[in-house]
Structure 1
Amino acid sequence: MTTAVVTGLGVAAPTGLGAEPYWAATLAGRSAIGRVTRFDPSGYPARLAGEISGFAAEEYLPSRLLPQTDRMTRLALVSADWAFDDAGVRPGELDEYAGGVITASHSGGFEFGQNELKALWSKGGQYVSAYQSFAWFYAVNSGQISIRHGLRGPSSVVVSDQAGGLDAVAQARRQIRKGTPLVIAGAVDASICSWGWVAQLAGGRLSTADDPASAYLPFDSRARGHVPGEGGALLVVEDAEYARQRQAPRIYGEIGGYAATMDPKPGSGRPPGLHRAITLALTDAGLEPSDVDVVFADAAAVPELDLAEANAIAEVFGPAGVPVTAPKTATGRLYSGAAPLDLATAFLAVRDGVIPPTISSSLADDYELDLVTEARPAPLHTALVLARGVGGFNAAMVVRRHESGN
């Protein structure tokens, strides 16, 4: 069967722009969580976020794109450029239908939409940008990346909250197996604006702590919700033989297995679906639990959700049977961008033989986990990445070293 490998990483994270700056900050345990600066949060119960600083879109993108794009899309376009550069791919030189784009989205272009609605009620309809027709839309990142790079192969968008980031990469693997040589996949989200903030608050899962060091604490007895963030990652996914033939400068690893499940209806008495997603992903990869070297957790920081995830991991791997980490504690939860960033982190961890830390959290007695709280050198071959979305979405993806890679 065709093997899907990852040859390029494009990362835009609160802790670093670009894969290597982000990775260095992650290993050092540097946090980017702080008081929101993109709007005045003083009147809201939650006031902390993981914001990207130092990003000036005009330094990377042509001026004609700026009036028609949300911050989310600008970050996605630049991340795609970085991913292609990292993979040594010039999209314009690909055959017409050889490249596709598959992204996930959690909220769409909230900030763009907010500004246009403000213009509508304060000035009138004639002041609303024509670009509002698509700049807010969930599929806009796929569309803009496709247009910018002339990618006319299979393209789509997945909307399944945080699980969507894994679902998008899985869709890319599916298209690779169907014969498309290359797909850029993943997600970037950015909804730190007052409109987006209210929507996130309505979900009831935001931390209202004011101390950045104790606001986002998954698997900790003090856990009281997550801190949101912005950013994510885009990955160049290729057919392994195609990557070999074009002499790709590097292969980070391969997508070994994947599964998605849905939680049952509340009150049904049936167990959550995460355990089944893990076992199905391992089966898809042809692996036993003992083959997994590290698990990148979803890390909701909501006690009942943390307990469900910890129990699922312990049931599959045994009590404290595998190292578990959640480097998103340094960035906040990036919604659909979180899991692709975890995938990129997993590939870098396998490359360098080190498990990145979960910062700030102290493991509560309720959880039978080997939680990694300091960078831990370890021989790594295989990693499991977990993601869950509001509404019952579960996704699990196995990534591993590509033995014949370069």
Structure 2
Amino acid sequence: MSGRTLVTGIGVAAPSGLGVEDFWAATRIGKNAIGPVTRFDASPYPSRLAGEIHGFDAKDHLPGRLVPQTDRVTQLALVAADQAFADAGVAPGDIDAYDMGVVTAAGSGGFEFGENELRKLWGEGPNHVSAYQSFAWFYAVNSGQISLRNDLRGPVGVVVGDQAGGLEALAHGRRQLRKGGRLIATGGFEASVCSLGWAAHLAGGLMSTGDAPERAYLPFDEAACGYVPGEGGALIVLEDEDSARARGARTVYGELAGYGATLDPRPGSGREPGLRRALETALADADCDPAEVDVVFADAAGTRDLDRQEADTITAVFGPRRVPVTAPKTMTGRLNAGGAPVDVVSAVLAMREGLIPPTTNVELSPAYDLDLVAGRPRTASVRTAVVLARGRGGFNSAVVVRAVD
């Protein structure tokens, strides 16, 4: 095998659009998708904004038997998987089932499904709890359901690492291809906009309490005050280059060229956070000089301490204001395990068009030596992109995505 891992299909279910073209049409111009929570009554909570996917009805996309078996997060994952396989031009039977696998990232699992069944348990009794509760809540269910629906009988797995897990899932997919697989479907999804999920977000202490959708999530801004959660994610088809060329893959978006991951040191140790080492590892893995990078898609935590750490990492590796930096997630909120795969999709679409999507609403603080693409998109030749992601518990991940001629 060639060793190169190619992106040959993508599917997206995000607040800014369902499907690649709708998603990119909104993202490239900076269309805001954050607004008041509508999926439950958030009025008693201090945080009341989210990036929701409006107008999605699973019955319009999935067989009727699947809908009562699955949580919203799995329904979104299955629809994105359908899009990705169609985009890649792969149908069951085209490739031996044992040469195809799936690895997804998740954090909360099927929170909304579980919450509804708990209400039945305490309100109506155990006989009213759905039999599907046994797996619909589980964070591995997306991988299982994608595997079943698409007859993927090769390696199947799930990664739990919050926002960073979405990149680790892609890296694990690349590892499986290097072991001899031909195709891996990989990415991440979250859909925890429900009262149980909201309680979990609030427990972390990093949520924004702003009420204005355009000023609630402001990474690298003097007014940064936390993040706004969102729902959704992306599913990406990865293939070994030789296999993709042999089957006549009709689209190649780019190459997953490098990856690095670290854990932060113990709080209070005085040691440097691990994000810089993850970034440098990814660049070394891709045999990529920092000067070759055309854009960085930032993790963009939205708190002053974490923003400072990330800005310092970018400046230390690339130099002050030497590389464009963007965070399109200011339009959607942080999608947790789904956020970084969506950024990877944005990166390959930026390569396709030659346009860097903007970081909306943010007024860059003079405290950061960043070339932030703020307010408006920027026309640019994008051949190499870096995506950064961090998760609660000290997870750090970075990937390098490169254009393929």
Q: Over aligned residues, Cα RMSD in angstroms?
A: 0.6
Tell me which amino acid in the other structure corresponds to 2:61.
Y
Among 387, 390, 396, which residue is 2:389 paired with?
A: 387
Tell me which amino acid in the other structure corresponds to 1:194.
S
Matches within 5 A, 1:132-281: 132-281=133-282
* Structure 1 residue 152: Cα displacement: 0.5
User: Structure 1 vs Structure 2: percent identity of aligned residues?
Assistant: 62
**How many Å separate the matches in 1 of 2:200 and 2:160?**
16
Answer yes or no: is the 8 Å Cα contact 1:321–1:370 preserved in 2: yes
**How many Å separate the matches in 2 of 1:351 and 1:43?**
44
Tell me which amino acid in the other structure corresponds to 1:79.
A
* Structure 1 residue 93: Cα displacement: 3.1
Among 379, 391, 399, which residue is 1:397 paired with?
A: 399
Tell me which amino acid in the other structure corresponds to 2:400.
V
Tell me which amino acid in the other structure corresponds to 1:140.
V
Q: Secondary structure at 1:72's aligned position in 2?
A: helix
**How many Å separate the matches in 2 of 1:215 and 1:302?**
11
**How many Å separate the matches in 1 of 2:57 and 2:248?**
33
Matching residue of 2:341:
340
User: Structure 1 length as normaliser, TM-score?
Assistant: 0.99
Tell me which amino acid in the other structure corresponds to 2:125.
G
**How many Å separate the matches in 1 of 2:114 and 2:363?**
39
User: Structure 2 length as normaliser, TM-score?
Assistant: 0.99
**Residue-by-residue CA offset, 1:9-31 (whole Å, 9 max, x unaligned):** 10001011101111010111101
**Residue-by-residue CA offset, 1:380-405 (whole Å, 9 max, x unaligned):** 100000000000000000001012xx
Matching residue of 2:3:
2
**How many Å separate the matches in 2 of 1:5 and 1:94?**
16
Q: Relative to structure 2, which stretch is displaced further, 103-112 or 84-93?
A: 84-93
Tell me which amino acid in the other structure corresponds to 2:211.
D
**Residue-by-residue CA offset, 1:102-131 (whole Å, 9 max, x unaligned):** 000010000000000000000101111111
Number of matched pairs: 403
Q: Secondary structure at 1:34's aligned position in 2?
A: strand
Matching residue of 2:314:
313
Q: Secondary structure at 2:130's aligned position in 1?
A: coil
Tell me which amino acid in the other structure corresponds to 1:51.
E
Structure 2 gap ranges (5+): none
Matching residue of 1:118:
119
Tell me which amino acid in the other structure corresponds to 1:201.
L
**How many Å separate the matches in 1 of 2:382 and 2:345?**
14
**Residue-by-residue CA offset, 1:289-335 (whole Å, 9 max, x unaligned):** 00100000000001000000000000000011100000000000000
**How many Å separate the matches in 1 of 2:177 and 2:94?**
18
Matching residue of 2:300:
299
**Residue-by-residue CA offset, 1:146-183 (whole Å, 9 max, x unaligned):** 01111000110000000000000000011111110000
* Structure 1 residue 92: Cα displacement: 3.5
Q: Secondary structure at 1:364's aligned position in 2?
A: coil
* Structure 1 residue 96: Cα displacement: 2.6
**How many Å separate the matches in 1 of 2:209 and 2:228?**
8
Matching residue of 2:90:
89
**Residue-by-residue CA offset, 1:345-390 (whole Å, 9 max, x unaligned):** 0000011111100000011011110000110000110000000000
**How many Å separate the matches in 1 of 2:12 and 2:254?**
17
Q: Secondary structure at 1:163's aligned position in 2?
A: helix
Answer yes or no: is the 8 Å Cα contact 1:92–1:149 preserved in 2: no
**How many Å separate the matches in 2 of 1:355 and 1:349?**
6
**Residue-by-residue CA offset, 1:202-260 (whole Å, 9 max, x unaligned):** 00011000000100000000000000000010000001111111111110000010000
Tell me which amino acid in the other structure corresponds to 1:61.
L
Query: Following TM superposition, where does structure 1 have runs of at least 4 consecutive aligned residues deviating by more than 4 angstroms?
Result: none
* Structure 1 residue 46: Cα displacement: 0.1
**How many Å separate the matches in 2 of 1:321 and 1:269?**
28
